[in-house]
Amino acid sequence: MTVETPHTASQAGSDVRPIVATSLSKRYREVLAVDGVDIDLPSGVVGGFVGPNGAGKTTTIQLLLGLVRPTGGTARVLGETIEHPERYLRRVGALIESPSFYPALSGRRNLEVLTRLGRLDGSRIDEVLALVELTERADDRVKTYSLGMKQRLGVAAALLPDPALVILDEPTNGLDPAGIREMRSVMRGLADRGITVLVSSHLLREIEAICDHLMMIDHGRIVFQGPIGGLLDAQQTGVIATPEHSEDLERLAALCAAAGKQARIDGDVLRVTAGEDWAAELNRQAFAAGITLRGLEVTRATLEEAFFAITDAEAADDDAGADGEEA
């Protein structure tokens, strides 16, 4: 797969927010799959939609695509209400859950089914097949494809309408490391051309690598949305100090405690919860105390750590609320 896409149309610079949802909800009998979700996705970004399995990602995507009907709230996609998906789906490409195709038809014929149905330009079939590097296998039956090839065919199908918005649900499922890297490249290429991409995944490292905007969902509720850089910057950084002699660990921890920093010994290293500037100060104080450091590293929170920090805080708030109600 290459970054250069064959698309010509985009909505770069459009004032319309690609996805806006307000209190969007979906209940399946006793289960509240999506619970009052608010979404505001900026134009031209790769937006990550993350959360554990069963958090409500796929149901939210299905709501946005008009495949399931909401039990509460509203949403607009490309400025049009989701009550009339026919008004915006011509400009939306989507890969929903695991890619499903007619196994007895070739990849090319499967795409032909979709182009004819959507009255799309049939000449784009070859373009999108080339984009996902399936040209050589395009005339083979889909039942002979690997999962990764089906995934790529799903992306090709999503790109058929020359979309302004692409929604990909777990697009890296079944891909090998090279395929994952190529998928990242395709998504970035789309965003570079002003096409907004919403990609859902439970693989937080994947999202961290490719997205610039983030929505976190847990138990059907959005627990965070905003720029991914802002989220990570707001997380607590740390300093890992490794003294030359491990018997100095206790004295090093005492120095940190005296400065009001939380520190714990973890094997041969001392982990300090502190800002980046504390590393230099710790180095100075250790030298003054006669402790030689053979390692000093500033660590940043990963998206995974940020996710758990946020969801743990949400759970604690819920518990506190429940306790308050019981009292």
Residues that bind another protein (CB under 8 A): 62, 65-69, 85-86, 89, 92, 94, 96-98, 100-105, 109, 112-114, 116-120, 157, 161
Q: How far is the CB of 131 from another protein (least distance, A)?
A: 18
Residue 107's closest CA among 131, 142, 135? 142
Min. distance of Cβ 161 from another protein in angstroms?
8
**Distance of closest approach, residue 97 Cβ to another protein, in angstroms:** 7
Longest Cα–Cα distance in the chain: 77
Closer residue to another protein, CB minimum distance, 32 or 67: 67
Q: Which is nearer to another protein, 151 or 225 (CB)?
A: 151
Euclidean distance between the first and the last CA atom of the chain, given in angstroms as a whole number:
59
Burial of 117 (0-12, 13-18, 19+ CB in 10 A): exposed
Q: Which is nearer to another protein, 12 or 105 (CB)?
A: 105
- Smallest gap, in angstroms, from Cβ of residue 52 to another protein? 22
Return the number of the residue (98 or 246) whose C-beta is nearest another protein.
Answer: 98
Cα angle 119-182-105, degrees, rounded to a multiple of 5:
40
- Pick 84 or 284: Cβ nearer another protein: 84
**Nearer Cβ to another protein (45/92):** 92
Count H helices and E strands in the chain, helices first. 10, 14
Which amino acid makes up residue 55?
Answer: A
Contact (Cβ atoms closer than 8 angstroms) between residue 90 and residue 80: no
**Which single residue is written with the structure tokens 């982990």?**
271
Number of Cβ atoms within 10 Å of the Cβ of 313 = 11
Other C-beta atoms closer than 10 Å to the C-beta of 115 total: 18
Residue 17 to residue 44: CA distance in whole angstroms: 9
Least Cβ distance, residue 98 to another protein (angstroms): 7
Cβ 86 to another protein shortest distance, Å: 5
